[in-house]
Structure 1
Amino acid sequence: MKNITLHKGDLPADIDLGKVIAVDTEAMGLNPFRDALCVVQLSSGDGTAHVVQLSRDFDCPNLKAVLADQSRLKIFHFARFDVAMMKQWLGIECGPIWCTKIASKLCRTYTDRHGLKDVAREIAGVDMSKAQQSSDWGAETLTDAQLHYCASDVLHLHAIKDGLEAMLAREGRLELAQACFDFLPVRAELDLEGWGETDIFSHS
């Protein structure tokens, strides 16, 4: 499969992903306490996706080092979930973070459609299939369709970030967006500590 490299267990130590890395995850479900993290996919924005299929002992020091490296920016779509899953299953705090979903909500105020498929179509001109979103990511062997699906989730994030960043700048909301990104590790920690559905900032 062109531009998709599957790695079993960990990233090779000699891969250079640069200073801005698109990242996404796949898990057995949406409950970070019950549903194991299965796959982490990364791209440096060069058209290549690296898909890491995790073993259940989560012995992946090279991957953990990249994700926790504070000198490398990580681009996510809905980072809140991914960051919580990485903390729960990999035992790391991923950062720094740039979240395209938060950015979309702050600058694309003319729509309520902020899913990756909709944002990618408008900002990057890419039609993405979400057919494999709900599939068995814990399978011993991932299918070609699964690999293409998870790769597509990171291959376009650099372009999406660039487009949304320009919109944020135009609307004067770059600093607000950055403050939200900086808060994401705390938001993920609140989720893991039991305040996922509680607005602790509300009056009641």
Structure 2
Amino acid sequence: MSSTQFMQNATIHLHRHDLPDDLALGGTVAVDTETMGLLPHRDRLCLVQLCAGDSQAHLVQIVPPSLGGRGADCPNLKRLLSDPATVKLMHFARFDVGILQHALGITVSPVRCTKIAAKLVRTFTDRHGLRELCRELLGIDLNKQQQTSDWGAADLSAEQLSYAASDVLHLHALWERLEGLLVREGRLDLAMAAFDFLPARARLDLLGYENPDIFAH
């Protein structure tokens, strides 16, 4: 199935500044981010995408005060992302946790990372990107054409919103497949320990311990 076919049945909600007060997304929420680049100290957080595992994506646009927005003044989003009772599903959580912790001043936990899970059980390949995993495990072909577009624009295009939503709409199904593989291979406990370390790993990255890595020889 193509991503376009899947998105025809999806609903995208765009929220400026924060999540609605009355929105409930359950105990496990898929999370992704879009930024101006890959350096948290330089590149601002522009969009946070969330999905409860249904066909609805909630996109929170973080608008800086210089553009008439509220910046990190998003209490509902912060509460959800830092809630210890809410599991956050991510792909490449090391980056997303880092940018969220830096931009919003919170600790993002607990976390599950489909990229780490894939690397622990799919050792027969080096293809652990979200697009490859969705294609091989779910039979869904994601469209990545908007990956490098300008996420800092005041008005995001329909194509950008669709792309951003697609990155969270499949994470619940993907995690279900990968969790089963972790159990099958006896590596779930190891994965959970790695997930628990992610907030600290992100803090180390933000402090400059990414290169050289303190865990390297």
Coarse TM-score class (shorter-chain normalised): over 0.9
1:200 aligns with 2:208: no
Distance 1:109 1:191 in 2: 25
TM-score if structure 1 supplies the norm length? Answer: 0.97
State the SS of the aligned residue for 2:73.
coil
Partner residue in 2 for 1:50: 58
Deviation at 1:58, TM superposition (A): 1.6
Matches within 5 A, 1:46-125: 46-56=54-64, 57-125=71-139
Among all aligned residue pairs of Structure 1 and Structure 2, give the percentage whose two residues are the same amino acid.
Answer: 58
Q: CA deviation at 1:196?
A: 1.1
Give the structure 1 partner of residue 170 of structure 2. Answer: 156
Aligned mates of 2:22, 2:63 — CA distance in 1? 20
User: Which secondary structure state, in structure 2, belongs to the residue aligned with residue 25 of structure 1?
Assistant: strand
Q: Distance in 2 between matches of 1:73 and 1:31?
A: 25
Where do residues 116-195 of structure 1 align in structure 2 (5 Å cutoff)? Answer: 116-195=130-209
Q: What's the offset of the Cα at 1:201?
A: 2.2
Inter-partner Cα distance in structure 2 for 1:99 and 1:155: 15
Distance across 2 between alignment mates of 1:202 and 1:4:
42
- After the TM superposition, which parts of structure 1 deviate over 3 Å for at least 4 consecutive aligned residues? none
**Equivalents in 2 of 1:68, 1:163: separation in Å?**
25
Unaligned ranges ≥5, structure 1: none
Name the counterpart of 1:22.
30
Give RMSD over aligned pairs: 1.0
- Once residues 45 and 198 of structure 1 are traced to their aligned partners in structure 2, the CA distance between those partners, rounded to angstroms, is 38
- Mean alpha-carbon deviation: is it higher for 29-38 or for 54-63? 54-63
How far off its partner does 1:190 sit?
0.6
Which AA in structure 2 matches 1:66? Answer: L
Q: 1:197: Cα distance to partner?
A: 2.1
**How many aligned residue pairs are there?**
203
- Write the distance in 1 (CA, Å) between the matches of 2:28 and 2:91: 14
Per-residue CA deviation, residues 34-68 of structure 1 (Å, 9 max, x unaligned), is 00000000000011000000121221000000000
Aligned-partner residue type, residue 30 of structure 2:
A
- The alpha-carbon deviation at position 198 of structure 1 amounts to 2.1
Give the counterpart letter for 1:192 in structure 2. Answer: L
Once the two structures are superposed, what CA deviation does each residue of 1:142-190 show, in whole Å capped at 9, x if it has no partner? 0000000000000000000000000010000000000000000111001
